[in-house]
């Protein structure tokens, strides 16, 4: 019956070059998994599920174990054939006695790792192939680590890009808010409000604040102008179409008069000009 190295051989080779492969692995857990995988394949022919560097190293080591096992099976087959043919050819008595002594001193088991290494015809090829297997495994492990580093660098770049996009988005939102505030401010300035005692003087917020600033700059009161115009319009039963221009003209006249007159003088608030203007105003241009 033919020998099977998975079940019949009691040993398998661990090469010294494999030490560098074991050291190249990342953790002791991967080393332990690789060792148990080698025993499982050498003893039962099983191929465990591995990943990463342990998987690559196992494939290279499995090839060496399989190569050594096939050589052991061929050696066992050759011995079996020699036994069927009657063993070794007869020699002189001295050689026979020497052979008997040698055979008595040799162990009964012919499948030890020492015998296998001595009688294996492929020893020279193994020496040339082992460094190549190690170099390929090491190169694969280095490529795998480099690929992981590149992935980490790409992730960091993606995070930086996302942060820049978020900053740009926040800046755009702030600009939009500023534009909305300006629009709201402009809209608030254009809102028309009613002022005066009888609420019949119509001014926008922008016009009111502008007249108020002008009055404060020369020490005058805008409320007095608005109240005076409101009382006059109510008494006459009229409606003012441009109160801003009327108050602005009064303010210009009183500002000049105040600069030339004494501080105790009061603003004149002369309405005769507006009365003449209202009486001679052509309504057909408005209607």
Reported as a single tens digit per residue, the pLDDT across 117-152 is 444 445 444 444 445 556 667 677 777 778 878 888
**Residue 39 — very low, low, confident or very high, per pLDDT cuts 50/70/90?**
very high
For residues 137, 141, 146 and 151, what is the CA-based torsion angle, rounded to 10 degrees?
130
Helices (H), 85-122: 93-105, 113-119
What would the pLDDT profile of 148-189 be if each residue is shown by its tens digit?
788 888 888 888 887 878 888 888 888 888 888 888 777 777
pTM given for the model: 0.31
What would the pLDDT profile of 228-263 be if each residue is shown by its tens digit?
888 888 888 888 888 898 999 988 888 887 666 555
Question: End-to-end alpha-carbon separation of the chain, Å?
Answer: 125
- DSSP E strands in the chain: the ranges are 192-195, 201-204
- Is the pLDDT at 112 greater than 60? The verdict is no
What pLDDT, on a 0 to 100 scale, did the predictor assign at position 124?
44
Rounded-to-integer distance, Cα 170 and Cα 57, Å? 51
């Amino acid at each position: 019956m033919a020998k099977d190295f998975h079940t019949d051989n009691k040993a398998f080779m661990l090469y010294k070059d494999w030490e560098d492969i074991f050291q190249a692995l990342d953790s002791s857990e991967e080393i332990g998994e690789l060792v148990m995988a080698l025993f499982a394949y050498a003893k039962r022919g099983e191929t465990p599920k591995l990943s990463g560097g342990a998987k690559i190293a196992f494939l290279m080591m499995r090839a060496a174990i399989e190569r050594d096992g096939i050589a052991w099976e061929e050696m066992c087959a050759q011995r079996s054939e020699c036994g069927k043919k009657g063993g070794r050819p007869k020699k002189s008595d001295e050689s026979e006695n020497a052979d008997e002594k040698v055979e008595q001193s040799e162990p009964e088991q012919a499948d030890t790792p020492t015998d296998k290494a001595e009688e294996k015809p492929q020893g020279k090829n193994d020496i040339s192939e082992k460094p190549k297997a190690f170099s390929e495994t090491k190169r694969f492990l280095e490529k795998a680590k480099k690929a992981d580093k590149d992935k980490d660098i790409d992730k960091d770049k993606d995070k930086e890009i996302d942060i820049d996009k978020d900053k740009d988005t926040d800046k755009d939102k702030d600009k939009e808010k500023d534009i909305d505030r300006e629009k709201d401010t402009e809209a608030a300035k254009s809102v028309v409000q009613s002022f005066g005692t009888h609420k019949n003087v119509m001014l926008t917020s922008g016009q009111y604040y502008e007249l108020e600033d002008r009055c404060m700059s020369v020490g005058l009161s805008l409320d007095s102008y608005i109240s005076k115009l409101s009382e006059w319009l109510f008494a006459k039963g009229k409606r003012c179409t441009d109160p801003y221009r009327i108050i602005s003209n009064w303010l210009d006249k009183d500002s000049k008069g105040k600069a030339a007159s004494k501080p105790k003088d009061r603003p004149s608030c002369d309405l005769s000009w507006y009365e003449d203007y209202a009486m001679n105003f052509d309504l057909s241009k408005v209607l």
